[in-house]
């Protein structure tokens, strides 16, 4: 299906809703946690299970600027760098 502007607008909808993704971002920014802990906190806050695997959640967090460091997720250094020089 094409929109009026000619761009493709078809395909499968995203597995994570905007509310789940926003909650996951808030949880990931609050403290360093493993991906499984982030998924568990999102489920506890929203009261429903994730409609996808934690790998999908991890990929969404990576697209938002988080990087995996050992056993936790953190913001990339370029996203948190101070301009105090």
Answer whether residue 58 is part of any domain.
yes
Answer whether residue 9 is part of any domain.
no
- Is 60 exceeded by the pLDDT of residue 1? no
Answer whether residue 28 is part of any domain.
yes
Q: Do the beta carbons of residue 9 and residue 27 sit within 8 Å?
A: no
Answer whether residue 56 is part of any domain.
yes
> How many domains is the chain built from?
1
Answer whether residue 27 is part of any domain.
yes
> What is the Cα–Cα distance from 52 to 75, expressed in whole angstroms?
23
State pLDDT tens for residues 42-75: 999 999 998 988 889 999 999 888 876 666 666 6
Q: In terms of residue numbers, what domain contains 58?
A: 18-75
Cβ count within 10 A of residue 66: 22
pTM: 0.68
């Amino acid at each position: 299906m094409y929109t009026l502007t000619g761009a493709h607008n078809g395909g499968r909808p995203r597995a994570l809703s905007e509310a789940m993704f926003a909650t996951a971002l808030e949880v990931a920014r609050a403290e360093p946690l493993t991906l499984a802990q982030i998924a568990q906190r999102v489920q506890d806050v929203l009261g429903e299970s994730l409609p996808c695997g934690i790998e999908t959640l991890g990929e969404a967090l990576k697209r938002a600027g988080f990087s995996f460091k050992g056993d936790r997720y953190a913001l990339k250094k370029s996203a948190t760098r101070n301009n105090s020089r």
